[in-house]
Amino acid sequence: SQISQCNNALENSEELLEFATRSLDIKEPEEFSKYVCVYHRVTMASAFRLSLKPKVSDNMTHLMVDFSQERQMLQTLKFLPVPKAPEIDPVECLVADNSVTVAWRMLEEDNKIDHFILEHRKTNFDGLPRVKDERCWEIIDNIKGTEYTLSGLKFDSKYMNFRVRACNKAVAGEYSDPVTLETKALNFNLDNSSSHLNLKVEDTCVEWDPTGGKGQESKMKGKENKGRSGTPSPKRTSVGSRPPAVRGSRDRFTGESYTVLGDTAIESGQHYWEVKAQKDCKSYSVGVAYKTLGKFDQLGKTNTSWCIHVNNWLQNTFAAKHNNKVKALDVTVPEKIGVFCDFDGGQLSFYDANSKQLLYSFKTKFTQPVLPGFMHLEHYENLRTASSAHFQSLMALLQCMVWWTFFEYWDAGSKCCENTSEK
C-alpha cells in the first residue's frame, strides 16, 4: 500500500540523513573522499523515486441524485394539449325573440374538450368596441354544446360582440375571433293620441274599453249643455265629441275603425316585431298602414293598409287582407304573430313567432312610410246582445289585452317557405 511504501521511504531517509551529517563533520580531505558516493546514494534513494497517487477519484457519480425512477414515471404521463380556438359561424347565429343564439365549431376535432366559455358585450359600433365605448365582457361558463341562446335580452344597443374558447380538464384555449351581430331593434309605442276612443292604449298594450267613447262623448256633451236652454245653438252642436289629439299627428280613428297605429314610421330597412293576444281575445287585425289611412278606414279594406285578421266569434277565420280583398289562410292561428317588413324590398310577411313558420307574405312597393297597425274588433255592442245567462262569462272578454313586443329582424327571409304576391 502507499502508506507502507511511505514508511520505508522515511526510514531510508533517516539513514541517509545520518550518513550525510557524519560526512559534514569530516575535516580531513582524505577521509572525506571516502564519502564521495554520498551524492549518488542520496539521489538514487528509493524515497526520491516514490510516486504517490491520490486515493480519491474525480468521478462525482456517487454524489448525484438518481432520478431514473421519477423520469420513467414522468414519461408515462400523457399531458392534455391546449385546445385550439373555435370559430363562430355568423350564418348559424340568430337574433330574434329578445334572444341571441350563437353557434360555433371546432376547426379540428378534439374529443378532450370538456366545455366552452362564451363572452359577450354590447356596443354601438360595427366591430370591436372603441375605447370610449369600452364595456366589460360578460361571461357564460360551462357550456357543453357548440350553441348557446341568450334569452331575455334588452336590445338597447346596435350591436353585440361575441367570442368563445374551448376548455379541457386542464386548461382553457385561445379565444375565437370576435364576431359582431346586429341587435338594433325597432322600438315604438302605440299612439294613443289617434287611437279609437274605445281602445285603452298604454305604451305597447291595447285593451278594449267599452265606455271609452261614450264616456268622452257624455263628458263633452255635458260641457256643451251646461247653462244651455231652449234650442241648441248650431254653432255649439257642430263641436265634435272627440278630444283633440295630443300629438296633433293625425285625426283620431272613429266609427267602426277600432284602430291604433304605432308612433314610429318605417321609412327604410328591414324590421321585425311580434304581437301576442290573450287567449280570450276573439277578433283583431295586425299589420301596417300608411299614415294617410282614413279615420273611418279599417285595416286591410283600403289600398293603404295590409294585415292579417283573426276572428273567433261565431266561426273561426284567419285571413290576409289588402284593398278589401281577402285571402283565407289554412293554418292554425299562432300564439304570437311575427311581422317582418322589408320596406326597400317591398315585402310584408307574417310568421308564427314560435315556430318561424311563414303564414302569409305580401309583395308590393311601398310609396310612403308605413306605421305598425292594430285593429280591435271586440266591441261592447256585440256582447250586449248575449242572453243574461251568458253575460257574466262574456264580460271576461272585455279585458282582452294585446301585448306588443318588438325585436330586430334577423335572417327571417331565409326561413320563408312560401311567398304569395298580393297587390
How much is the pLDDT for 208?
77
How much is the pLDDT for 406?
41
Comparison of pLDDT for 156 and 265, the residue scoring more: 265
Close Cβ partners of 188 (under 8 Å, ≥ 6 residues apart): 262, 263, 264, 273, 372, 406
How much is the pLDDT for 312?
83
- Over range 350-369, report the average pLDDT: 93
Band of residue 237 on the pLDDT scale cut at 50, 70, 90: very low
Whether residue 144 is predicted with pLDDT greater than 50 in this model: the reply is yes
Whether residue 305 is predicted with pLDDT greater than 90 in this model: the reply is yes
How much is the pLDDT for 421?
39
Band of residue 131 on the pLDDT scale cut at 50, 70, 90: low
Band of residue 15 on the pLDDT scale cut at 50, 70, 90: confident
d(CA 139, CA 156): 19
Whether residue 401 is predicted with pLDDT greater than 60 in this model: the reply is no
Q: What is the pTM of this model?
A: 0.51
How much is the pLDDT for 386?
25
Beta bridge partners of residue 180, listed in sequence order: 161
Band of residue 254 on the pLDDT scale cut at 50, 70, 90: confident
Comparison of pLDDT for 417 and 58, the residue scoring more: 58
Band of residue 61 on the pLDDT scale cut at 50, 70, 90: confident
The answer to whether 181 and 160 are in contact (CB under 8 A) is yes
pLDDT above 90: percentage of residues in the chain: 36
- Over range 283-295, report the average pLDDT: 93
How much is the pLDDT for 407?
40
Task: Express each pLDDT in 30-59 by its tens digit.
Answer: 777 766 555 555 555 555 566 777 777 777
Average pLDDT, the chain: 76
Most confident of 92-96, 145-149, 180-184, 207-211: 145-149
Comparison of pLDDT for 242 and 173, the residue scoring more: 173
How much is the pLDDT for 228?
39
d(CA 227, CA 93): 68
Whether residue 383 is predicted with pLDDT greater than 80 in this model: the reply is no
